[in-house]
Amino acid sequence: MTFDDAIKKSIKVFLQGKMPSKTSELSPEGLFYTPEYFDTLEAELLDGPTESTKDKDAKDKESIDAA
Amino acid sequence: MQLDAPIPGGNYTSDTRNYSWHRPPDLVDYDQAVDYLINKIDEPEQIEVVFAMLGIDAHITTVVTTILLQAVSKGKIGIDLAILVAGPLARYIEISAKDVGMKYELGIENKDRVIITPSLLKASLGIIEQDDEELEAPEEEAPLEEPTGSLMAMPADITAPQNEQDAMLGGETLEEEIPVEEAAVLEEELV
């Protein structure tokens, strides 16, 4: 198996939601960068407000506070 | 006797610190390595390179391999840890590409793979069912024309030209072809 094949296999396994079990055992708190973490990150990034809507929301809030 | 082999102990004479991957890597922790690589990708120059590679239809696996080999060659992470962190890195690049609305391909799908079906397996093993055999049986060929003569017989459509036939039958053409010397010998014999 070449390095490229190993990388492909590793990516495929990670996308299936599997984690390296022995590596997980090394840290008592568990691993931080899990498939669930990336799912949450994706949901936050893709469904979250854009920069323009953020500015608009901030301006609306300011106007409400001023009133 | 000449031996074509390395000198025993020759490896001890070279400096093993020549390459960064000969030394212990800087990062050995999974989370630290992923954190380092994600921060590395988020650098403006690096993310430009990543998006440029995806823009030329490079697979995410190719991008990940390039980044990891770079990290290994710099001695940041070991090659085993590089394989382990490939998944999170690919996922992060995928999310980044989705975020900017860029088309991407992971490159883990094997499109050339032939899907094995029962019929394909039968065909590869040479098993043909009776029904298939009936369906696939070729139509009876039209009977060939029976040969007119024996195997060594001259084909009917080939006939020698008239002058050749005359020559074969002892016509004028044959007499003209006899060399002068032979003709003289023949005349002597006849006399």
In sequence order, what DSSP letters do the residues of B50-95 get, joined into one string? HHHHHHTT--HHHHHHHHHHHHHHTTSB-HHHHHHTHHHHHHHHHH
How does residue B1 score in pLDDT terms, banded at 50, 70 and 90? Answer: low
**Which region holds residue B14: left if phi is over 0, alpha if psi is between -120 and 50, else beta?**
beta
pLDDT beyond 60 at B123: yes
How does residue B155 score in pLDDT terms, banded at 50, 70 and 90? Answer: low
> Would the CB atoms of A42 and B98 count as touching at under 8 Å?
yes
> Nearest by CB to B95, which of A7, A33, A41?
A41
> Nearest by CB to B95, which of A6, A12, A42?
A42
Whether the CA torsion B135, B138, B142, B146 is positive or negative: it is negative
> Would the CB atoms of B87 and A6 count as touching at under 8 Å?
no
In sequence order, what DSSP letters do the residues of B149-165 get, joined into one string? S-TTSPPTT----HHHH
Whether the CA torsion B98, B101, B107, B113 is positive or negative: it is positive
Kindly give, in sequence order, each residue whose CB lies less than 8 Å from that of residue B121, ignoring residues fewer than 6 positions away.
none
Q: How far is CA A34 from CA A8, A43, B30, B157, in A?
A: 18, 14, 11, 86
Tokens representing residue A31 in the block: 């691993």
Confidence at residue B66, expressed as pLDDT on a 0 to 100 scale = 94
ipTM value: 0.73
- Cα dihedral A54, A55, A61, A65 in deg (nearest 10): 150
Task: Give the residue, A4 or B163, on which the prediction is more confident.
Answer: A4
> Would the CB atoms of B90 and A33 count as touching at under 8 Å?
no
Cβ-Cβ contacts under 8 Å, A50 against chain B: none
Tokens representing residue B20 in the block: 């960064």
Residue appearing with tokens 């860029």: B102
> For the residues B1-7, what does the mean pLDDT come to?
78
Residue-wise pLDDT tens digits, B43-64:
999 999 999 999 998 999 999 9
Query: Which chain A residue is nearest to residue B59, measuring alpha carbons?
Result: A8
Tokens representing residue A50 in the block: 């854009």
Residue-wise pLDDT tens digits, A13-25:
999 988 888 888 8
> Would the CB atoms of B83 and A6 count as touching at under 8 Å?
yes
Angstrom distance (rounded) from CA B55 to CA A3: 24
Q: Is there a contact between B75 and B25 (Cβ–Cβ < 8 Å)?
A: yes
